Amino acid sequence: MSKKIESKPLRSLSMFVPCFNEAKNLPHVLDQALEVLTQVATEFEIIVVDDGSCDNTKAVAEAYQRQTKVVRVVSHQQNKGYGAAVRTGIEHSKYDWIFYTDGDGQFDLAELKKLIPLRKEGSAVLGYRKKRVEGLKRVMMAKMYKLYIDLLFRVHVKDIDCAFKLFKSEDLKSVELFSNGAFISAEILYKLKKNKIKFIQVPVSHYHRKHGEASGASLKVILIGLWEPLKLYLRMKTGWQL
């Protein structure tokens, strides 16, 4: 049986963009978002979450905020981590549907048009990268991380940390989230799955960064990404508060 297709635009959409030192990439992301979102939603907002950037990310975002009322900037005084930025984005989103992507410009926002027709109540629409562009090392790390998460939580999606996801706002806001690091994507999926939310998975393109370097392979990020899921698992199984 084919999936139900909903061809109408969204009534309202919140898009948020977690950013850390993405001043050079952010204009491309916001320009594309302003073009695409007018085509897919009757009413929308774009929230830039500046996670304590050391460059001009906040200034760039605030320049867009002054130019258009649909862009809002929320800033952390200091860097709190990717998960904290995602949680802030969710908290500040006010519309019926929530879409998020990163500020590094590695996705084509026009492909949001592929996700929206597949939406339906009780489902989340998840992009997965047809081909990751970061090289063999990052691909292997991602596969090992997926095995680790599936061993603990049985999430079983193709691309856990792909930052190209569409959720019903009430579904996403109904779960309590704790992660401050990269585990946030898996935590969201695990808790939505527990709430019987179905996942619809859609292939999307992935592109090289034009500016800057990704921080996802740093030792600190990796260690936090391994520790946070284990901490949640132990708390669930034993009630041990770590």
Does 1 score more than 50 pLDDT?
no
Rounded distance between C-alpha atoms, residue 213 and residue 80, angstroms: 18
pLDDT computed for residue 62 by the predictor: 98
What 3-state DSSP class applies to 99?
strand
Strands 164-168 and 97-101: antiparallel
In Å, what is the CA distance from 72 to each residue of 46, 65, 92? 6, 6, 10
- Answer left, alpha or beta for residue 213, where phi above 0 means left and psi between -120 and 50 means alpha: beta
pLDDT tens, position by position, 113-159? 999 999 988 899 999 999 888 778 878 888 899 999 999 999 999 99
- How much is the average pLDDT of 82-99? 98
Single-letter amino acid, residue 157 = V
- What's the whole-number mean pLDDT along residues 198-217? 85
User: Mean of the per-residue pLDDT values for the chain?
Assistant: 91
Residue 89 burial class via C-beta count within 10 angstroms: exposed 0-12, middle 13-18, buried 19 and up? buried
Provide the percentage of residues in the chain whose pLDDT is more than 90.
Answer: 75
Please tell me the pTM assigned to this model: 0.90
**How far is residue 112's CA from residue 217's CA, in Å, rounded to a whole number?**
27
Spatial distance between the Cα atoms of 220 and 56, rounded to a whole number of angstroms? 24
pLDDT of 2 > 50? The answer is no
pLDDT at 236: 72
CB 22 within 8 A of CB 104: yes
- Structural domains for the chain: 10-238 (3.90.550.10)
231 DSSP assignment: H
- What pLDDT was estimated at residue 216? 55
Query: Tens digit of pLDDT for each residue in 95-121?
Result: 999 999 999 999 999 999 999 999 988
Alpha-carbon span 211 to 130, nearest angstrom: 22
The residues, ordered by sequence, that sit 6+ positions from 14 with a Cβ below 8 Å of its Cβ are 44, 45, 47, 93, 94, 95, 97, 98, 99, 169
Neighbours of 198 (CB within 10 A): 12
Residue 217, H or E segment:
none
Give the pLDDT score at 239: 60
Amino acid at 109: L
The stretch 9-27 carries a mean pLDDT of 97
The rounded percent of the chain whose pLDDT value lies above 70 is 92
